[in-house]
Amino acid sequence: MFEELLPELRVDLSCGGFDPARLFRFPVDDIWLEVGFGGGEHLAAQALAHPTIGMLGCEPFVNGIGRLLGEISRADIRNIRIHPDDARDLIDRLPDASVGRVFVLFADPWPKRRHWRRRFIGPDSLAGLARIMKDGAELRLASDRATLVRWMLRHLGDHGDFEWTARGPADWRVRPGDWPPSRYEEKALSRGETCTYLTFRRRPRPHGGGRGTMRPHCGSPL
């Protein structure tokens, strides 16, 4: 299955920038991106709940990709495309203001101080996300590690393109109903860990800059 299905769903980055909507065989209402989808439980659930949304998922680990491919085959999911590598490579090639929602859920916390630079949320990645996200687009993050939550809040608080939507403790303590659980979350909860759910919104660009700049597309829909 891996050898047969992945080539059909893999995002081709060999030609530079592209129009993500053209990756799908049917018109899509929006493009959503999940960075590090793990076993793909959340990505598959979102794709099934929103069949007119084009879902892009990034994950470098073969086991997680294999589990997602199995679910795609079992449930006949048609609105997922996969980048089996570092999400930054895909983000660099996406057009400006082309993504309506981004998920970064239970990312590797890289707990040792000398590894903190490897954490996904940081100045460079946030600049990339701010560029590709539409005005008003949501950035959803979750973690069971308090140190990583503080890290993400600090970096997002320092970045002027995002605003935290929380109005009270329930907004970060309770997972919203339209936010399917993942395997990592379920494992954390089974250990008695506390999970934190953060939602940020991409602030409007000045001077009507929310419309995307489309880069040349090489290749046709699958």
Please give the positions annotated as active site: 108
Task: Find the helix packing angle between 2-9 and 62-75, rounded to 10°.
Answer: 80
Strands 30-35 and 80-83: unpaired
φ, ψ for residue 32, nearest 5 deg: -115, 150
For residues 137 and 190, give the distance between their C-alpha atoms in angstroms, rounded to a whole number: 32
| DSSP-derived 3-state class of residue 136 | strand
25-64 in b/e form (b: 16+ CB < 10 A) is eeebebbbbbbbbbbbbbbbbbbbebeebbbbbbbeeeeb
The backbone torsions φ and ψ at residue 216, rounded to the nearest 5 degrees and listed phi first, read -60, 145
